[in-house]
Structure 1
């Protein structure tokens, strides 16, 4: 069977020389080259959406590629498409770069100027590795072979706005519809998902923070499997350890989850950390939960402006969810949208804490009665966001108005 090889580089002459040499390799089938990092990821995503078998066995990345630097690009490809072997072509064959490339997920490094023997040897070895990985994944369980799951972040305008409950119910709705779902507690100092679901755990997101190459096995060891089927990655029991989760670590962790699950819901809490900011920036949908009162709406406006100033996310790319809504309050969802300058979820969550109190106190929010108006609204929100399979998000939507933001284009 021929080895499919996808070359990637911004220098047309260098790529032309690379393709010429690749076409001379035995059993090699070079694919049309791609000229930048965005085109490479989009091409792989398109192929993976059809089938994992459609992906090339080998991707050869030239050091002169952009806009994403080569090592960062290799890391993203390795995390999102774990069955694709990546080779870096570079003028710097030093031990330092070799180590950095391996840490990023490359399976090999070839020095410039290109040598036929070295390139042939490396391509053959990486192709064999890729074939072995696909054979293993083909018989594994709980493997998502798509183009990369949908990432949704849930942040609170202020503490107590309802972000954690919202995140949990969105994840439960997605899982119940048959979509493998991971729920991440990235409220690193005060995260409470474990308490809401009444679970005891040993491992947390911190256990993945210092790992350069998060393999499927390493990820599985850190994830807690809940009775509902949700994969939980929890905040540390010792809040001070949250500082170990850097923005880079958070990106890597969420990218690893995205490659394994169709839906990844991240509770970012109400306090902005570097890790939370990184995940909000990379999310397909970023939700900001507020209650319809002056203090909370002002906090939501400050948050939106801060995200914009820090170039984390623009206001129009943020979707506000109004929690504890009543028809009689002076502040209605449309006014919240005008004040914050964001998109607005059509579904508003009604004010009915009596429905929640028993399950919250018991730490069993996953057992919230299906007749609950709060649950119906949150599951309708999941349907509005496209987190549930067609026909599964049939709960009645709440009275909010406006439109939810479109899924953000991946950079």
Structure 2
């Protein structure tokens, strides 16, 4: 099968030149030319056999680097090659950090173009084969695109890990394949909540992030008895620095292609890895408690994401945890402080029930009707659970009996 190449440029002369050069290369075929970033993304999403995208860095309206990131997340097996007049170390470093497979001048020679296309085509075909295997425990997943939900805390103690774990369990109960990722890289404790010990962590994928195979994932992931697959944070907090944005982006892309739902616990401390997960997520939520210091912290966090161009404030969901009708601060007042609209679902306080479940490493056994129902409602509101998954009153007791 010939190598399928898409050209992304608004320059007709450059497009004609590249078409002419590629026509001279055996087994390499141009499937089309798109003149703007939106059209390129549309083609990438609809053309299942696409191998390579040649991207003009001057392509608009989005920058070439932004487009490279989007392609890496949406289609991990598609190789993006950036075309830029400047070929210095800074340009190359930024391109590789974004997930590009290389950089070429805007007027490459035939030999340069041929060697680069053949090299990245081989990489693309290899990744496609790896993503098409089923040795992680699921069906073949080539071309699949799951949903990523990133959960971050306005500060510590707002229930970020609790919500991430519970949503993962709810997703499994609803029949979805779920991967729970602990991206709280310095202080992550998903393993403690699930009472599991595993010798591998996300840090073990960093060195092979550009070529992750199913066997590699199977070795690193822990398959919990309740259903979700778990990718733990490193036990040594200093290894957090090893998880770069480039590695995190590749890992998130591979997981998205293999699971229906990927839930990422980002904690309350921002690292390269957690910020990349938030940027890549379909939905990102901030957990807050109904007190003024926490609400102000959430507002500052939302503004930080906006300044870093990680997430627009209108694209951030806020969930109030430990919310009671007796609290002085209610959701409508919280919304005025935040400048962001909280989700309709609030999570009630369930201290004793959660304490017992966490201490026993049995998150399925949270014996609190309101809390269990809130988790189902939250999952439905976030779009990771069907509305039919909302448990009726009284369901938690039956679920507890089944789990024992």
1:12-411 alignment, distance < 5 Å: 12-23=12-23, 29-47=29-47, 54-62=48-56, 65=59, 67-69=62-64, 77=71, 80-85=74-79, 104=99, 106=101, 112-115=107-110, 134=128, 137-138=131-132, 140-141=134-135, 142=138, 143-146=140-143, 148-211=145-208, 213-217=210-214, 218-368=216-366, 372-388=369-385, 390=386, 392-395=388-391
* Secondary structure of 1:151's aligned partner: strand
Deviates more, 1:159-168 or 1:20-29: 20-29
* Secondary structure of 2:6's aligned partner: strand
Query: What is the deviation of 1:175?
Result: 2.8
TM-score normalised by structure 1 residue count: 0.78
Query: What is the deviation of 1:114?
Result: 4.3
State the distance in 1 between where 2:333 and 2:103 align: 55
Per the alignment, do residues 83 and 302 of structure 1 end up closer, same or farther by CA in structure 2, a change over 3 Å counting?
A: closer
State the distance in 1 between where 2:153 and 2:220 align: 26
Per the alignment, do residues 146 and 355 of structure 1 end up closer, same or farther by CA in structure 2, a change over 3 Å counting?
A: farther
CA deviation vs aligned residue, 1:347-398 (integer Å, no higher than 9, x gap): 11112223322211112213435x732122112111111112x45422369x
Coordinate RMSD, CA, aligned = 3.7
Query: What is the deviation of 1:168?
Result: 0.9
* Secondary structure of 1:259's aligned partner: helix
- Give the total of aligned pairs: 387
Query: What is the deviation of 1:112?
Result: 4.4
Segments of structure 2 that go 5 or more residues without pairing to the other structure are: 394-404
* Secondary structure of 1:33's aligned partner: strand
State the distance in 1 between where 2:261 and 2:303 align: 28
State the distance in 2 between where 1:286 and 1:246 align: 20
State the distance in 1 between where 2:27 and 2:292 align: 67
Query: What is the deviation of 1:133?
Result: 5.8
1:83/1:133 contact within 8 Å kept: yes
Query: What is the deviation of 1:166?
Result: 0.5
State the distance in 2 between where 1:95 and 1:295 align: 44
Deviates more, 1:193-202 or 1:342-351: 342-351
2:10/2:36 contact within 8 Å kept: yes
1:355/1:374 contact within 8 Å kept: no
TM-score normalised by structure 2 residue count: 0.79
* Secondary structure of 2:164's aligned partner: helix
**What's 1:404 paired with?**
none
1:46/1:147 contact within 8 Å kept: no
* Secondary structure of 2:210's aligned partner: coil
Query: What is the deviation of 1:37?
Result: 4.5
2:168/2:179 contact within 8 Å kept: yes
State the distance in 2 between where 1:396 and 1:153 align: 27
Per the alignment, do residues 102 and 221 of structure 1 end up closer, same or farther by CA in structure 2, a change over 3 Å counting?
A: farther
Segments of structure 1 that go 5 or more residues without pairing to the other structure are: 48-53, 398-411
Asked whether 1:11 is paired with 2:11, we answer yes
Per the alignment, do residues 147 and 73 of structure 1 end up closer, same or farther by CA in structure 2, a change over 3 Å counting?
A: farther
Per the alignment, do residues 358 and 23 of structure 1 end up closer, same or farther by CA in structure 2, a change over 3 Å counting?
A: same
State the distance in 1 between where 2:76 and 2:309 align: 30
1:324/1:351 contact within 8 Å kept: yes
Query: What is the deviation of 1:222?
Result: 2.6
CA deviation vs aligned residue, 1:312-336 (integer Å, no higher than 9, x gap): 4333222111112222222111211
